[in-house]
Amino acid sequence: MIGWLLVSGKYGMNENSSWTSRLYDKKITVTGRLVKQEQSATSNQLYLKNNSIIYQSKSYKIPKQKQILIFTDDVTMYKAGSLLKVTGICREMEEPGNPGQFDLKKYYEIKGIQMVLNKGKVNDTGSKYWHIRQFLWDMRQRFKRTFLQVAGEENASVLTAMLLGEKKELDPEVKSLYQDNGIAHILAISGLHISMLGIALHKLLRKLGISWYISGGAAGITMCAYGLMTGFGVSTTRAVIMFLMYLLAGILGRTYDIVSALALAAVMILIENPRYLTDAGFLLSFLAVLGAAVLAPVMRDIFSSKNKLLESFLVSMAIQLTTVPIVLYFYFEIPLYGVALNLIVIPLMSLVLGFGIAGGIAGLISIPAGIFLISPCYYILGLYKYLCVAVLQLPFAKVIIGKPQLWQIILYYLILLALCLIKQNKQYGEVVKWVWGTAFMFFLISRQPITGMRITFLDVGQGDGICIQSPGGINCFIDGGSSDVKLVGSKRIEPFLKSRGIQELDYLFISHMDADHINGIMELLQAYALNLAGDNASGVSIRHLILPKLAKKDEEYLEIENLAKKNKIKVLYFQKGDRILNGRFSFSCLHPSGNANSEDRNENSMVLQMTYKNFRIFLAGDVEGKGEEELMGSKELKRADILKVAHHGSKNSTPDAFLDKVRPQIGILSYGKENRYGHPHEELLNRLRMAGVTYYSTTDYGALEVTSDGEEMNIHGMKNPKKSDK
């Protein structure tokens, strides 16, 4: 069945992709019914279903289960289910260009979104709409306004995420804080919320003397309405199905089996949308319940104790152990103290939900009453924030492991399955403990060591970013910026490093101070937060920052220098002749000389030559003009296997005389698609062809990874994984 679901999901993802791709960047008109609307202060997102498309007088039908997402500046709130006619520009759904980068295209496909339109303009609206759903939408908007009035902006955004499922206005810092500490699950409407609310309502009605049938029916209808109001996310859908099974079991006088209910929920969701089998939210939601229902009892038998705190700890640990491979697969790191923190957070959630709902309802009638009832939430959320900040100060608060391979995940779950199947008695008790410990330890140390050089030229758009991993465990990064990709540091560079399991960079080189080489690095340095161990609590740590030694330092140079020193990063200054040596791996600086005083940043660009045994890469930065002339007169300039082409392939960089001396086999070009500079220039490409250089670009291939044992090398791209051996 899983195989069928995978095949169905893959087929579904590719369905109609051939003809929709022909509409990219074209102006089209769509007609469909509004099933969801998300609004911020400046924009609107409309989700349409039962769509038809008109392009060049031709009409196309979209399958009923598919949606079209429309971004528009029109902030009008339209009625649920109303028929909208919208004109906009069809946007290509972006595929990831780097390991670790968020896969927006896959995300949209999982959500059933067939097409995305930008600059949408609503031309016509129908008069008919869905009255019940519109009533629930109106209630959600009223609750949002009430939370803002009675709880304040920050707490209101958290309560809106927890209770209404809307995260658009959630403070990014708060969201990041919860994620870093392993408690981000409370920001989503989950089984925990549904169970607490549904069971509390059911018990209240029973205490009022209402029969099981009526109280169960009322609770079930209320939870379905709540799910509909909040958008029926995958975890909400699972929880509602399981809650309905719980009620049905009570009505029929049968025993409620949580594993059977979980399996039924999974089957129902996957039959509707098989693509959820590859969704992080789906996998984590179901595995968390499975861990609590199956693994936790096994652990309680092993560590037999009547201590309630220990039992709670074991349940939390069981959930963590069951979900950790999936967490690492999608997010690459684990919050080491998340288990302990959840022991405090989860019990208090019942108070947050209870007082949050009570305050929200009371606030609809009386603002002072709402403020009074919601006040406990203020203190509890404040406690959450305080604990998160404090925990991040501890050593190893976040451990970056990297993305595990599929065989590691399978082996991990096989060991856990074996643990659950072993009979729990005195004879096997100690054995089970050792099996468990071995399984956990195995997974934590299972990152495969680098056996040769691995160099990755990242796809950062119009800019540069190069990662070098040596077999001796030395991790280096050269430049990191982009002029056309926003937040390139947090969206592309840092996720890549984490996916590779890089906890710290030994050396971070900056060739020169142009924004397309440093703004991603600046972003990471500005978010840098030292913990008690002197490491970066917010992400990847940096040990040494290496800057070109110049006679004159400009404003950006001084700013990045000061940021590094503030964060206890040792700053080194490289000039011609300087070298870093680690076994048979070395970095040599060929340019600039220490007295360089040119006003042109590109001419002063740091040029590096990396050598591993007989394998050599020439990293040219943006050097050109007088800088290249000085290089060609240097005795240190040697033949290189790979040339990182200077200045993104500009017209005047990399002259014939330079190519004759370096004689590279492969040239790497890093530039943005349809950039305003016209990179790479055709004259430069002709020079590479005439010199017999095979060139690859990050625009066409995505991140380009070169591996070498010091003698031979191969290269493959993220978007075109076919290997080229040299």
Q: What's at 110, amino acid-wise?
A: I
Q: What's at 670, amino acid-wise?
A: S
Domain range spanning residue 550?
Answer: 453-720
> What is the mean pLDDT of the segment spanning 490-500?
96
Same structural domain for residues 443 and 557?
no
With 60 as the cut, is the pLDDT of residue 31 above it? yes
Whether 571 and 563 have beta carbons less than 8 Å apart is answered as no
Q: What is the pLDDT of residue 702?
A: 96
With 70 as the cut, is the pLDDT of residue 267 above it? yes
With 60 as the cut, is the pLDDT of residue 57 above it? yes
With 80 as the cut, is the pLDDT of residue 505 above it? yes
**Residue 212 within any structural domain of the chain:** no
- How far apart CA 413 and CA 323 sit, in angstroms, is 10
Q: Where are the beta strands (DSSP E) in 249-363?
A: 333-335
What CATH number did the domain enclosing 77 receive?
2.40.50.140
The 10 Å Cβ neighbour count of residue 723 is: 11
**Position 424 confidence tier, pLDDT thresholds 50, 70, 90:** low
With 90 as the cut, is the pLDDT of residue 121 above it? yes
Q: What is the pLDDT of residue 414?
A: 84
Mapped onto helix, strand or coil, the DSSP state of residue 717 is strand
> Tokens 């016509």 identify what position?
124
Q: What is the pLDDT of residue 7?
A: 47
Beta bridge partners of residue 589, listed in sequence order: 608
Q: What is the pLDDT of residue 709?
A: 94
With 50 as the cut, is the pLDDT of residue 342 above it? yes
**Residue 246 within any structural domain of the chain:** no
With 80 as the cut, is the pLDDT of residue 686 above it? yes
Same structural domain for residues 427 and 464?
no
Which residues, including other chains, have CB under 8 Å from residue 636's CB and lie 6 or more apart? 576, 577, 588, 590, 609
Least confident of 164-173, 189-198, 278-287, 567-576: 189-198
Same structural domain for residues 311 and 457?
no
Q: What's at 251, amino acid-wise?
A: I
**Position 664 confidence tier, pLDDT thresholds 50, 70, 90:** very high
**Position 298 confidence tier, pLDDT thresholds 50, 70, 90:** confident
- How far apart CA 351 and CA 714 sit, in angstroms, is 58
Query: CA-based angle 311:314:317, to the nearest 5?
Result: 155
Q: What's at 395, amino acid-wise?
A: P
Same structural domain for residues 415 and 559?
no
- How far apart CA 356 and CA 362 sit, in angstroms, is 10
**Residue 190 within any structural domain of the chain:** no
Whether 455 and 468 have beta carbons less than 8 Å apart is answered as yes
**Residue 373 within any structural domain of the chain:** no
What CATH number did the domain enclosing 533 receive?
3.60.15.10
Whether 465 and 493 have beta carbons less than 8 Å apart is answered as yes
Per cent of the chain over pLDDT 70 is 91
Query: CA-based angle 488:494:498, to the nearest 5?
Result: 155
Same structural domain for residues 521 and 443?
no
Least confident of 101-105, 161-165, 551-555: 551-555
**Residue 253 within any structural domain of the chain:** no
Average pLDDT of the chain is 87
Same structural domain for residues 621 and 550?
yes
Q: What is the DSSP string of 443-495?
A: HHT-PPPP-SEEEEE---SSEEEEEEE-TTS-EEEEEEEESSSTTHIIIIIHH
- How far apart CA 339 and CA 318 sit, in angstroms, is 9
> What is the mean pLDDT of the segment spanning 107-129?
89
- How far apart CA 583 and CA 453 sit, in angstroms, is 13
- How far apart CA 263 and CA 463 sit, in angstroms, is 48
One-letter-per-residue 3-state SS of 240-258: HHHHHHHHHHHHHCCCCCH
With 70 as the cut, is the pLDDT of residue 340 above it? yes
The more confident residue out of 703 and 427 is 703
Same structural domain for residues 432 and 523?
no
**How many structural domains does the chain have?**
3
With 90 as the cut, is the pLDDT of residue 609 above it? yes
Q: Which two tokens stand for residue 319?
A: 């959930």
Single out the residue in 448, 480, 504 at which a domain terminates.
Answer: 448
Q: What is the pLDDT of residue 516?
A: 95
**Residue 189 within any structural domain of the chain:** no
pTM of the model: 0.91
Q: What is the pLDDT of residue 532?
A: 87
Whether 177 and 146 have beta carbons less than 8 Å apart is answered as no
- How far apart CA 335 and CA 180 sit, in angstroms, is 6
Q: What is the pLDDT of residue 4?
A: 45
Single out the residue in 426, 448, 470 at which a domain terminates.
Answer: 448
**Residue 252 within any structural domain of the chain:** no
Same structural domain for residues 490 and 433?
no
pLDDT digits (tens, 9 = 90+) for 510-550: 999 999 999 999 999 999 988 888 899 888 999 999 999 88
**Residue 641 within any structural domain of the chain:** yes
Q: What is the pLDDT of residue 692?
A: 95
Q: What is the pLDDT of residue 276?
A: 93
Q: What is the pLDDT of residue 41?
A: 65
> Tokens 């640990």 identify what position?
317
Q: What is the pLDDT of residue 434?
A: 60
- How far apart CA 668 and CA 693 sit, in angstroms, is 10
Whether 282 and 323 have beta carbons less than 8 Å apart is answered as no
Q: Which two tokens stand for residue 350?
A: 């019942």
**Position 428 confidence tier, pLDDT thresholds 50, 70, 90:** low
Single out the residue in 89, 104, 129 at which a domain terminates.
Answer: 129
Same structural domain for residues 436 and 529?
no
> Tokens 């152990």 identify what position?
321
CA 626 to chain centre: 42
Same structural domain for residues 518 and 622?
yes
Same structural domain for residues 296 and 429?
yes
The more confident residue out of 7 and 602 is 602
Q: What is the pLDDT of residue 34?
A: 93
Same structural domain for residues 425 and 291?
yes
Phi and psi (nearest 5°) for 467? Answer: -115, 135
Whether 157 and 174 have beta carbons less than 8 Å apart is answered as yes
Evaluate the omega torsion of the peptide bond into residue 592 and state whether it is cis, within 30 degrees of 0.
Answer: yes
